[in-house]
């Protein structure tokens, strides 16, 4: 019997501004029948719910409304199949209009009214002798009853220690001891703190979501002989689009006609224009600067570079780092511990020392207001979300908060050579025939290289095509990781790559050249000598990494002399020649020596080593498998971004430590001053909301990571 199918619904949630909001929402939804999973992204203001077919997502939205949030059910990204065939889909839930409540039900409207009533009441108490304290009750009712309602709903849905409940108990206690005006001030300050939290959270969310909002809604698509404005969502692979100066591309594509400078900073972070001409790929989000282009779409609006980056950032934000999980565990015990401490403060001094019950009851109430862990819980995710968004804007993609945490601890960075430290555009400088059997080995080599994306194979193919020697068809062509490429030519097994030899091959290698040898049934028949210069930014990038105190090494599959030449130029340790398995072994040896290792590479040969390293970093000009395997992707293909990624990770962890210190420091300070009687209820409220606002604003500083500086990134050669 088939298991019930899961339906996915997404809710836009307004008012989700701190870590305790996330906890309340998760607790409330997971307790509902038919709900299988809940994933909350505070950074985006989105809740994704996996549930049984019969669950009404609008009812779940109303449930959250009872907790004080505005919700809108949006169509899920993919409805679950409605039957077992896999060929149909259940209808997506209808979108609910985003209804803004009237001012008398809006938090800001109620806050303003509460403030006015509080000011009037306080003025009456101060200016008119004999005015009863009940004049404060309207302000208390306007500001306090919505909080009490949310507290009751949260307790009913599994969150008895919510901030709203602590606030309600403290206010009720203040009324009992006769501190009516102070109770009203606490209610107003709580509302003001919530408003400030919301403002800071919206600012962070705007920075984080900017990437997903880049793409235009309308495009000019060719229909027959005319260009017709149409919705970007209707673009399909193969459609032709017109891009005019100032237009932004809605999908990934290839230039079919025209030439223009393109601003691709939205994807790669490169601040300088990149010249694009027919045959060049152009990512979604790029802007035409000075020419008109005809673009052939290679993706649709739902699956392009920008949307993939946005999804990656979204997943990364949802994945908690080990430090964040530790803070969450600590916070779960923090609130009950503070509530217990408040109870002890209320009863122990009067019982043990015979002190005044009213004084210690009041101090215990103030302690309750320090019991909310909002600032502590948000200290880590707010910083990580801002860092991930800033990195994505520059073209540095971290695949999770745990990656940032590990990268900040890196001791050693290992580099691939070809295409990473070098330009990846090698040139054939010599060719030698090793056989005189009269067969067209040059044409065979050209055919073997034709389908390969490896820089050496592309260089050999370009060299042979320039010689106009023709091409022989090679079947079963395949990559041999770390060695070269192989295939069949009329029953002959051919291979092009690293082959140890004496003679001319050894001479070229001794000169520091990279040598590829073509063999036929393991007999050498043709040899190529290639040279690949350093990237223009290699020396500066290496110096910057050394300035961060990192050890650097080259792990290369090339022969030792060629790798040593690059190592000598950059003053780096070299291990070569290494097959992929040997690169993994070198990384594991470093790890056994107690080092945290990052590996930087760009090709299929690097994928195993990238996976073995503590942090795998893939250059943007590299293969899809390298980018998929890596923990961090550098889309701009700039070597200097390796140092930028390490700096960003270290800066993020500094901000997280600052946030935790501020959150605990403020609460600890007011906890002590409250117990000794120096501060009362309203400073305790400021300790909570003020700490939350402070850690959020501190995290927002990470959004200021700018675009790339320096020279233009080198563009990878086209096949």
Q: Which domains does the chain have, with CATH numbers?
A: 6-100 (3.30.70.100), 218-303 (2.70.150.10), 427-531 (3.40.1110.10)
Q: Around 422, how many Cα atoms within 13 Å sit in the side-chain half-sphere? A: 27
Q: What is the pLDDT of residue 649?
A: 94
Distance CA 602, CA 418 (A): 9
Q: Are 563 and 532 in contact (CB under 8 A)?
A: no
Question: In 3-state terms, what secondary structure has residue 9?
Answer: strand
Distance CA 438, CA 51 (A): 70
Distance CA 561, CA 568 (A): 10
Instruction: Please classify residue 129 by burial: count the beta carbons closer than 10 Å to its beta carbon, then call 0-12 exposed, 13-18 middle and 19+ buried.
Output: exposed
Q: What is the pLDDT of residue 82?
A: 37
Q: In the beta sheet, which residues pair with residue 297?
A: 253
Q: What is the pLDDT of residue 712?
A: 39
Distance CA 629, CA 639 (A): 19
Q: Are 484 and 505 in contact (CB under 8 A)?
A: no
Is 416 one of the annotated active-site residues of the chain?
yes
Instruction: Give every residue of the chain whose pLDDT is below 70, as ranges.
Output: 1-4, 17-20, 42-44, 75-106, 161, 193, 196-214, 265-272, 304-305, 308-321, 324, 328, 331, 467-468, 482, 603-606, 620-629, 705-719
Q: Are 25 and 208 in contact (CB under 8 A)?
A: no
Q: Are 184 and 139 in contact (CB under 8 A)?
A: yes
Q: Are 186 and 682 in contact (CB under 8 A)?
A: yes
- CA geometry: angle at 477 spanning 474 and 480, to 5°? 140
Select from 108, 181, 117, 176 the least CA-distant residue to 146: 108
Q: Around 267, how many Cα atoms within 13 Å sit in the side-chain half-sphere? A: 28
Q: Could you count the other beta carbons within 10 Å of the beta carbon of residue 701? A: 14
Select from 424, 421, 426 the least CA-distant residue to 570: 421
Q: Are 518 and 441 in contact (CB under 8 A)?
A: yes
> Measuring CA to CA, how many Å separate 310 from each of 202, 498, 649?
18, 40, 19
Q: What is the pLDDT of residue 605?
A: 60
Query: Which of 181, 263, 402, 416 is labelled catalytic?
Result: 416
Q: Are 686 and 193 in contact (CB under 8 A)?
A: yes
Q: What is the pLDDT of residue 553?
A: 94
Q: Are 597 and 584 in contact (CB under 8 A)?
A: no
Residue holding tokens 């303003």? 112
SS (H, E, C) 163-190: HHHHHHHHHHHHHHCCCHHHHHHHHHHH
Question: In 3-state terms, what secondary structure has residue 481?
Answer: coil
The total number of residues shown for the chain amounts to 719
Q: What is the pLDDT of residue 142?
A: 86
Q: Are 228 and 64 in contact (CB under 8 A)?
A: no
Q: Around 499, how many Cα atoms within 13 Å sit in the side-chain half-sphere? A: 26
């Amino acid at each position: 019997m088939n298991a019930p199918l899961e339906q996915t619904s997404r809710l836009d949630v307004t008012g989700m501004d701190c870590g305790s909001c996330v906890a309340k929402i998760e607790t409330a939804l997971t307790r509902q029948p038919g709900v299988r999973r809940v994933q909350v992204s505070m950074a985006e203001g989105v809740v994704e719910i996996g549930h049984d077919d019969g669950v009404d997502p609008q009812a779940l939205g109303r449930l959250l409304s009872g907790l004080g949030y505005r919700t809108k059910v949006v169509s899920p990204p993919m409805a679950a199949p409605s039957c077992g065939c896999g060929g149909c889909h259940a209808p997506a839930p209808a979108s609910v209009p985003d209804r803004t409540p009237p001012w008398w039900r809006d938090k800001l409207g109620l806050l303003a009214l509460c403030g006015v009533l509080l000011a009037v009441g306080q003025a009456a108490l101060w200016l008119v002798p004999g005015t009863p304290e009940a004049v404060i009750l309207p302000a208390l009712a306007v500001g306090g009853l919505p909080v009490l309602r949310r507290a009751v709903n949260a307790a009913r849905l599994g969150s008895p220690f919510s901030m709203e409940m602590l606030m309600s108990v403290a206010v009720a206690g203040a009324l009992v001891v006769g501190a009516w005006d102070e109770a009203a001030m606490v209610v107003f300050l709580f509302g003001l703190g919530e408003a400030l939290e919301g403002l800071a959270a919206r600012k962070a969310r705007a920075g984080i979501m900017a990437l997903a909002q880049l793409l235009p809604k309308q495009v000019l698509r060719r229909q027959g002989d005319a260009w017709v404005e149409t919705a970007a969502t209707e673009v399909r692979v193969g459609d032709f689009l017109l891009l005019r100066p100032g237009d932004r591309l809605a999908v990934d594509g290839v230039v079919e006609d025209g030439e223009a400078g393109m601003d691709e900073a939205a994807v790669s972070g490169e601040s300088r224009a990149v010249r694009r001409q027919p045959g060049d790929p152009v990512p979604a989000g790029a802007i035409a600067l000075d020419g008109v282009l005809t673009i052939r779409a290679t993706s649709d609006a739902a699956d392009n570079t920008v949307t993939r980056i946005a999804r990656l950032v979204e997943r990364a934000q949802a994945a908690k780092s080990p430090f964040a999980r530790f803070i969450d565990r600590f916070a779960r015990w923090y609130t009950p511990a503070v509530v217990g401490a408040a109870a002890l403060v209320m009863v122990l001094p009067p019982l043990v020392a015979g002190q005044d019950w009213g004084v210690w009851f009041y101090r215990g109430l103030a302690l309750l207001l320090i019991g909310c862990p909002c600032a502590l819980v948000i200290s880590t995710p707010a910083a990580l979300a801002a860092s991930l968004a800033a990195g994505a804007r520059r073209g540095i993609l971290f695949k999770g908060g745990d990656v940032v945490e590990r990268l900040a601890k890196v001791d050693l960075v290992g580099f691939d050579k070809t295409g990473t430290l070098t330009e990846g555009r090698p040139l054939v400088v010599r060719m030698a025939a090793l056989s005189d059997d009269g067969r067209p080995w040059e044409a065979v080599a050209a055919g073997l290289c034709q389908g390969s994306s490896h820089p050496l194979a592309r260089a050999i193919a370009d060299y042979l095509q320039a010689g106009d020697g023709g091409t022989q068809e090679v079947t079963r062509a395949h990559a041999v990781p770390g060695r070269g490429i192989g295939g069949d030519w009329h029953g002959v097994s051919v291979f092009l790559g690293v082959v140890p030899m004496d003679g001319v091959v050894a001479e070229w290698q001794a000169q520091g050249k990279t040598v590829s040898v073509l063999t036929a049934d393991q007999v050498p028949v043709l040899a190529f000598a290639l040279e690949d210069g350093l990237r223009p930014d290699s020396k500066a990038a290496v110096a910057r990494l050394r300035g961060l105190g990192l050890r650097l090494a080259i792990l290369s599959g090339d022969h030792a002399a060629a790798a040593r030449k690059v190592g000598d130029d950059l003053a780096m340790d070299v291990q070569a020649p290494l097959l992929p398995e040997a690169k993994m072994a070198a990384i594991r040896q470093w790890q056994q020596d107690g080092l945290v290792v990052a590996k930087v590479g760009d090709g299929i040969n690097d994928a195993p080593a990238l996976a073995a390293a503590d942090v795998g970093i893939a250059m943007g000009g590299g293969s899809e498998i390298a980018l998929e395997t890596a923990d961090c992707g550098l889309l701009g293909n700039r070597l200097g971004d390796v140092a930028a990624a390490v700096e960003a990770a270290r800066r993020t962890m500094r901000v997280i430590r600052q946030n935790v210190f501020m959150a605990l420091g403020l609460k600890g300070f007011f906890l002590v001053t409250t117990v000794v009687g120096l501060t009362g209820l309203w400073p305790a409220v400021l300790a909570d909301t003020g700490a939350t606002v402070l850690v959020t604003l501190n995290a927002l500083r990470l959004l200021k990571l700018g675009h790339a500086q320096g020279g233009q990134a080198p563009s990878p050669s086209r096949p």
